[in-house]
Amino acid sequence: MSAVTQPVTDTPQHILESVFGFSEFRPPQDEIIDTLMAGRDAMVLMPTGGGKSLCYQIPAIARPGCGIVVSPLIALMQDQVSALRLVGVRAEFLNSTLSFDDVQRIENALHRGEIDLLYVAPERLTQARTLTLLQQIPIALFAIDEAHCVSQWGHDFRADYLQLSLLHELFPDVPRIALTATADSRTRKEIISRLQLEEAEQFIAGFDRPNIRYRIGLKQNGKQQLLRFLKDEHPHDAGIVYCLSRKKTEEIATWLCDQGFNALCYHAGMDAEIRAYHQRRFLREEGIIIVATIAFGMGIDKPDVRFVAHLDLPKTVESYYQETGRAGRDGLPADAWMVYGLQDVIKLRQMMEGSQGSEEHMRAEQQRLNAMLGLCEITSCRRQALLAYFGDHLDQPCGNCDTCLQPPQTWDGTEAARKALSAVWRTDQRFGVNHVIDVLRGSSNDKIFQFDHQKLPVYGIGEELDNNQWRSVFRQLVARGFMSVDLERYGALRLEEKCRPLLRGDEGIELRKDSKLKVSKPRKAKVELASDAEMDLFEALRACRKQYADELGVPPYMIFHDSTLQEMALSKPATLDEFAEISGVGANKLDRYGAGFLGAIADFERRNSGL
């Protein structure tokens, strides 16, 4: 049933202020909301933490009827609904975890017009019972969250999303909005086609997350490098560590606990209840580190994740951007830290070779991996390269990535590269990197003599570089496409057509000198707490927040974000009117928590004044 011609119940600006506690929209939130308010469709690409949820939550409240939100993650629906209820929004969810009585209660409430927002899993939405129910009630809009799940090219693909085009067919007059934080041009076209959003207005917000510092380094001893990073920069912070294998997540989580950190593992092979328990702890407790595969993270709303670390190379730039985007959703400084090596490339290519995709799919995945390697080996601003991949543009180097803060040194690698390529050619492209390095360095092991490689003209011509330096040369040549790894021949190096001009001496090549990831200097928060007294008050406010969160059984950030507490610590409101001026304090939170937080501030002031 269409709700387009029915009168609007409240204005978006008033809802923004009174319900969510913000004074103004971030562009292009206002334009997106205006589009939906007018009954038109929208396709939204907005970075994580950019405020996508408000783009459909506010018009769902403002328009008559109930807003239907399609979300792929059952585990997160409860938290999403809890957060809305805390600000006074009538929200519910429908998924397989509910009892029959709960389902009936929600259906009856829908018929009575008592629900503003209903979160529905895609498999539940497409059931005949649900569609019949929705055809009997006024609907404000349909929001399809994590819309990239419709793309069969991505690792987040959900088959149930392919059926969501029926919303356009069954409810042609109800506006639809598809939202995602990660989609290149190919994925965007696929979303539009599969969801029949050809007439939708497209909103592509900038991809830049300036508060995130990107740092990528060579993997030497990954565990010890991670340990130094955590101890030096994030000893008490919440964060995510991504690993390629399930076994490694368990090993790293156990090891971090042995080192004194509060770490939990998460992967798709775990018992579902334990996995959900670990996710709940991460969301609701302070300072938890989750060590996970890519199975963890989509839709995570935790705003105070201070770092995302990768101990293995992601398959694509899209994956890297999406995973690192889970850090710093509150706008405060955060780190995206990664170490990688040639072995990561070999592992990923082995995984690709073992997949069941078509030749076209395999070729596309190979191109995406090459783009990821290119980002790792780049000597210019990483943020500029990352944004350019998504068609975004940054005029100047960002000043907040490792290549900007510590510009990498380069060296003329032309002669070394020619020796490396020649050695691969002379050994018939049959051997892996370790053996080719042994040939170049003139080693005298059994394998060398077994194949008579001591008689080759390239034998011993590379003694000027040590093993690690040669590994760097080969890694960079693979990353730049001059050679590849032949997985059918046990990791043998193979020359690519691109290497011919370099091998002939018609062109040169600059290679980067490998360096250790240095410890980063602490960065000032967006809202600066300059004095010890302000920091002490901030901690007192966190304690007050935790008490409320424990009583309600919700994550602390659902009460207030850290940035809101920091603003309180700076302004020290003494009245409810002053408290209401704090960003993030809406009418419902003012009524619920105003007196408690004002009391905590007053108590702190009395203690510090000596009274």
Handedness of CA 192, 195, 197, 201 (dihedral sign): negative
Residue position matching structure tokens 């939130």: 29
Q: How would residue 518 be classed by pLDDT, with cut points 50, 70 and 90?
A: low
| pLDDT tens digits, 15-42 | 999 999 999 999 899 999 999 999 999 9
For 320-324, 435-439, 598-602, which range has the lowest pLDDT when averaged over its residues? 320-324
CA atoms of 144 and 156, how far apart (whole Å): 14
What is the reported pLDDT for 593?
96
Nearest CA to 433 out of 394, 478, 401, 393 is that of: 478
Specify the CATH class of 212-404 in words.
Answer: alpha beta
For the chain, what is the mean pLDDT?
Answer: 89
Residue position matching structure tokens 């020619």: 418
Is residue 93 over pLDDT 60?
Answer: yes
| pLDDT tens digits, 472-507 | 899 888 877 788 877 566 678 999 998 999 999 899
| pLDDT tens digits, 177-217 | 999 987 777 788 999 999 999 999 999 887 899 999 999 99
Is residue 602 over pLDDT 70?
Answer: yes
What is the reported pLDDT for 331?
87
User: 491's torsion region: left (phi>0), alpha (psi -120 to 50) or beta?
Assistant: left
User: Read out DSSP for 549-579?
Assistant: HHHHTS-HHHH--HHHHHHHHHH---SHHHH
| pLDDT tens digits, 294-324 | 878 765 778 899 999 999 999 888 889 989 9
Share of the chain above pLDDT 90, in %: 64
What is the reported pLDDT for 1?
37
Handedness of CA 417, 419, 422, 426 (dihedral sign): negative
What is the reported pLDDT for 7?
41
User: Read out DSSP for 13-59?
Assistant: HHHHHHTT--SSPPTTHHHHHHHHHTT--EEEE--TTS-HHHHHHHH
Q: How would residue 409 be classed by pLDDT, with cut points 50, 70 and 90?
A: confident
What is the reported pLDDT for 595?
96
Span 577-593, average pLDDT: 95
Identical fold, 212-404 and 532-609: no
From the centroid of its chain, how far is CA 430?
39
CA atoms of 330 and 303, how far apart (whole Å): 5
Which DSSP state fits 401? B
Instruction: Give the predicted TM-score (pTM) of the model.
Output: 0.80
CA atoms of 566 and 58, how far apart (whole Å): 26
Residue 28: asked if its preceding bond is cis (omega within 30°), the reply is yes
Q: In this structure, which topology does domain 532-609 adopt according to CATH?
A: DNA polymerase; domain 1 (1.10.150)
Structure token digits, residue 90: 């009538």
What is the reported pLDDT for 418?
96
Residues with Cβ < 8 Å from 163, sequence gap 6 or more? Answer: 122, 126
CA atoms of 108 and 466, how far apart (whole Å): 73
Give yes or no for a contact between 54 and 89, defined as CB atoms under 8 angstroms apart. Answer: no
CA atoms of 220 and 217, how far apart (whole Å): 9
Q: What is the CATH number of domain 410-512?
A: 1.10.10.10
Give yes or no for a contact between 583 and 51, defined as CB atoms under 8 angstroms apart. Answer: no
What is the reported pLDDT for 355?
67
Count, in order, helices (H) and strands (E) of the chain: 27, 17
Is residue 396 over pLDDT 80?
Answer: yes
Task: Indicate the residue type of 74.
Answer: I
Q: How would residue 557 be classed by pLDDT, with cut points 50, 70 and 90?
A: very high
Q: In this structure, which topology does domain 12-204 adopt according to CATH?
A: Rossmann fold (3.40.50)
**595: number of Cβ within 10 Å:** 12
What is the reported pLDDT for 284?
86
Is residue 527 over pLDDT 70?
Answer: no
Domain locations along the chain: 12-204, 212-404, 410-512, 532-609
What is the reported pLDDT for 358?
72
Backbone phi, psi, residue 457, to 5°:
-65, -20
348 sits in which H/E element: helix 342-353
Nearest CA to 306 out of 362, 364, 217, 238 is that of: 238
What is the reported pLDDT for 2?
36
What is the reported pLDDT for 5?
37
Give yes or no for a contact between 60 and 139, defined as CB atoms under 8 angstroms apart. Answer: no
Is residue 525 over pLDDT 90?
Answer: no
| pLDDT tens digits, 127-162 | 999 999 999 999 999 999 989 889 876 657 788 899
